[in-house]
Chain A
Amino acid sequence: MERIGMPAVHICAITPVAQMVGSNRILPAQKIINPVGNADLSPAEEKKLRRSIVEKALNALQTEIEEQRIFY
């Protein structure tokens, strides 16, 4: 996607792999088996958490970068 000019955010638990394969905009996921969630939280809290991660991802899409970056 990045190659054709479309920004993409890679939400991924194992960030070294994302870096290795060349993802430019990387966002650490919660867990491998639960990337944008947390089963320990109540559904309402979990959705809030998911929203905060997705908002970070959208911010990353709007951020100019020169090289690979992990958006913590």
Chain B
Amino acid sequence: MIRVVHYLNQFFGGIGAENKAHVEPQVIEGPVGPGRAIQNEFGDWGVVVATVVCGDNYFAENIEKASQEVERLISTYHPDLVMAGPAFHAGRYGIACGAVCKTVQDKLGIPTVTAMYKENPGSDLFRSDVYIIETGESARLMGDAISKMGKFAYRLVTGQKIGSPSEEGYFPRGLLVNEISDKPGAERVIDMLLLKLRGEPFESEVPRPIYDRVRPAPPIRKIGVATIALVTDGGLVPKGNPDKIEIRTATHFGRYDIKNIDALNPTDYEVSHEGYDSVFVRQDPNRLVPVDVMRDLEKEGLIGKLHDKFYSTTGVANIVEVMKKLGKAIAEELKAEGVSGALLTST
């Protein structure tokens, strides 16, 4: 009987929602929540002996420490396999799942599997290290995700040959595996090009990474005369959310006037962002967009000018390509308005 330990966040572990995102790692005997579905999927071949639960904020803010704490809790059960999630599009959770799997694999030598949506930052951070099964975006697809995870887990833990990413449904790990093909490379690339020109789908043999690297911009030489702008993806918007910035998967950004404002007043703002508990930011928006301090620095001549608008959008469950466009648009506007540098605050 294969012994399995399952990792979940505070929400799927039944501890609480964002209000419990700070909870430290703890163990619950047996399967919990989605772990029960995993247990059903196993049938006779495996048993979920324990579930380790940790708050998403605690983990994301203490990745190394939390990874070690979770690994220690897991090790006391001597499992044959560790599974984490599925995390779907929940970013902090995906990062935690990836980190737990990597740590367990590296330190304990135990096979692991997790699962998440392709836009989850956890998939980019950890796909090279651990097997991450690709899921849809929403937790409504839990049944499908569990089924895929369970089947893959069985093959992994029983030492069967693991096929290519597209065969098995996991994210490419960046490994180049030589295969024999019936067509030479030159023919294969022409076939691909013809498909591309016809607008038909094709599969690259060496996919490009999503994130490019940008040469660092030169530093500001004379900050005493420079205009600095504040930008945020924490979803801070004026009361009433006039531009209707979405609470997730934002499609646009807003620009909000702060001319002659010495500090952001909590009664004038709200937060449109479902990915974090915004209580502290709503109490004092300067904790996210530090207008108060920037205004002091401006008055003292330590910066030339605080730009008279702050830019805001919502950074949760976003599509990378969309955010790239928003980022480009914000940058171009700032440049056109004579801004020399910016502070971007993320939640």
Contacts and interface: CB of A to CB of B under 8 A. Distances in A.
Interface in A9-55: 9-14, 16-18, 20-25, 29, 31-37, 39, 46-47, 50-51, 53-55
Contacts of A68: 213, 216
Contact of A33 (B91, B231, B276, B294): B276
User: What's the interface size class on A, roughly?
Assistant: 35 or more
**Interface range on chain B (Cβ under 8 Å from partner):** 35 or more
Contact of A58 (B211, B228, B287, B296): B228
A39 B216 contact: no
B292 A47 contact: yes
B217 A7 contact: yes
Contacts of B347: 13, 32-33, 35
Contacts of B297: 51, 54-55, 58
Contact of A36 (B121, B125, B290, B334): B290
Contacts of B335: 4, 6
Given A14-B92, A54-B293, 9 more contacts: A12-B346, A31-B61, A32-B60, A32-B92, A37-B284, A37-B286, A37-B287, A51-B297, A58-B297
5 contacts: A2-B217, A9-B342, A22-B214, A24-B214, A33-B57
Interface of A: 1-14, 16-18, 20-25, 29, 31-37, 39, 46-47, 50-51, 53-55, 57-58, 61-68
